Amino acid sequence: MNSRTLSNIDTAVGHGRSARWFCWCLLISALAVIFGFVTVEGAEHATATATTALDSKLAGVSTQIQHEYTLGKQFLYSYLVAFMFFLSLCLGSLFLVILHHLFDAAWSVPTRRMLEHIASLAPVMLGLFLPILIFAPQIYGWMNIDPLGDHALQAKSVLFNRPAWTVVSVMLFCLWWLFSWRLRSHSLDQDKDGAASHTVAMRKWAAGGIFVFAFTLTLAAIYWMKSLQHAWFSTMYGVYYFAGSTWVTLATAYVLALYYKKSGPLKDVVHKRQLHDFGVLLFAFTVFYAYIHFSQYFLIWNAGIPEETFWYVLRETGSWWDVGMLIVFGHFFVPFLCLLRIDAKLSMTVMLPMAAWIWLMHYMDMQFNIMPVLHPTGMSLHIFDVLCFVGIGFVLITVFRRWFAAHPPYPLRDPRLKEAITHHEVKSAPSGIETH
């Protein structure tokens, strides 16, 4: 164990390596901000013009804000895509930790610590959010138009005004930080004293946390992704982002558990059962995501009213249609059929390529949600897409690895640990015992 006090590590602002890496994040964010200032010079005067799309005159709403394409905007949009991708992992991990406590689960004890670390990346995410916070008007067209001339914006102006957007955005990170910090810090304290009271405390944080999680994730999805086209309606958008996020997190958790089992730290505690259960959950969320995304599309398709359809019309333009098809088949059918057999969930030749594929699919999903606003005629990958993804990923992975190395790799004295380790049998037959 490290001699540093826990609170320092948890808040990542204390002394030592964590603090240094927090400073690195701030530095990178600051560089991004400076870069943004250089590239978007003068762009703030290029006011976004609200144009009414087909039919929307009748409905009296403006459905599209046309963006002038600049390199600065390309950077910000690429950055937003990468940010939302990694936020998925952060929130998905928080959800899995909360879920663990809510269900008093035993199987997931050995893999809980790594998820606690990923969830605790929330303050780092706040640092990485700064470019989006500062250049919000470059990304979100509604910030530049007068609500009095736009009915949809006026109707939503309680949430959709810049002060509210800024304050709530920062608050979301604070809440995620609070809950992930409490959950991890109790878990780390339990490593030292083994007191059952920590388990009770974590359960309470989880019970409150699940509500806070649902509200904050929904707000985040609406504020940072959906509001790119502020006139749109979808009551499923929050759960849509949640489904994709948990899906990609489960694939990541599977690979991490396997990696740390092979490389040592989790060798004695992660068994077939943990991998199997992650695989089963991954399969469930494959179906859940498809269910949610189909429902959203189906309701809009069936109603066929312009206030809603324009969002998908844009995403059926040019090569976005192909991306949509890729999501239908690649995000659902391929993983569904590959993971259908129960033994596939334990086959490394299936699961490892599948996890990589799932990362790609979730990234394409984020592109599909965000980029059509900037590139309305079709998908076009930019070098910034790659750079932002690698940059944000690098910062987060580095912080995560430091944290993982600085603490015990799994909850050493969790009351359910023994149960998780000893009951590692995987039932290969879901039904009872057949006599033939």
Partner 1 sequence: MPETNTPYALIAEFETAADIMNAAVRVRDAGFRRWDVHTPYPVHGMDDAMGLQNSKVGWFTFFGGMTGFTTGMSMIWWMNKWDYPVVVGGKPLFSPMFAFPVSYELTILLASFGTLFGMLFLNRLPKLYNPLLKSRTFARFSNDRFFITIQCDDPKYSSTETRKLLEDSGGRQIHFVED
Nearest-CA neighbor of 294 among 252, 343, 332, 254? 332
Residue 154 binds partner 1, judged by CB under 8 A: no
Nearer to partner 1, 24 or 297 (CB): 297
Across 286-308, b (16+ Cβ under 10 Å) vs e yields bebbbebbeebbeebeeeeebbb
Q: Interface residues for partner 1 in 293-352 (CB under 8 A)?
A: 294, 297-298, 301-302, 304, 340-343
CB of 206 to partner 1, least distance (A): 27
Give the C-alpha distances (Å, rounded to integers) separating 277 from 164, 283, 357, 362, 385: 41, 10, 19, 21, 33
Nearer to partner 1, 322 or 425 (CB): 425
End-to-end CA distance of the chain: 53
Q: 């008093």: which residue's tokens?
A: 104
Residue 431 binds partner 1, judged by CB under 8 A: yes
Q: How far apart are CA 52 and CA 232, in angstroms?
A: 13
CA-based Rg of the chain, rounded to a whole angstrom?
22
Helices (H), 121-195: 122-134, 136-139, 151-155, 162-193
Q: Which range of residues in 9-17, 73-81, 93-101, 291-299 is near partner 1 by CB under 8 A? A: 291-299
Nearer to partner 1, 45 or 427 (CB): 427
CB of 433 to partner 1, least distance (A): 6
Q: Which of 58, 148, 163, 432 binds partner 1 (CB under 8 A)?
A: 432
CA angle 327, 248, 246 (to 5 degrees): 110
Residue 383 binds partner 1, judged by CB under 8 A: no
Q: How far apart are CA 212 and CA 319, in angstroms?
A: 38
Nearer to partner 1, 197 or 428 (CB): 428
Q: How far apart are CA 203 and CA 197, in angstroms?
A: 10
Q: How far apart are CA 86 and CA 396, in angstroms?
A: 8
Identify whether the C-beta of residue 371 lies closer than 8 Å to the C-beta of residue 379.
Answer: yes
Nearer to partner 1, 45 or 436 (CB): 436
Residue 267 binds partner 1, judged by CB under 8 A: no
CB of 253 to partner 1, least distance (A): 24
Nearer to partner 1, 163 or 304 (CB): 304
Nearer to partner 1, 42 or 432 (CB): 432
Q: Which range of residues in 182-190, 253-261, 372-380, 423-431 is near partner 1 by CB under 8 A? A: 423-431
Residue 412 binds partner 1, judged by CB under 8 A: no
Q: Which of 58, 148, 158, 429 binds partner 1 (CB under 8 A)?
A: 429
Residue 58 binds partner 1, judged by CB under 8 A: no
Residue 428 binds partner 1, judged by CB under 8 A: yes
Count of residues that bind partner 1 according to CB under 8 A: 22
Identify whether the C-beta of residue 251 lies closer than 8 Å to the C-beta of residue 282.
Answer: yes
Q: How far apart are CA 314 and CA 377, in angstroms?
A: 8
Nearer to partner 1, 287 or 406 (CB): 287
> Where does this chain bind partner 1 (CB under 8 A)?
294, 297-298, 301-302, 304, 340-343, 423, 425, 427-436
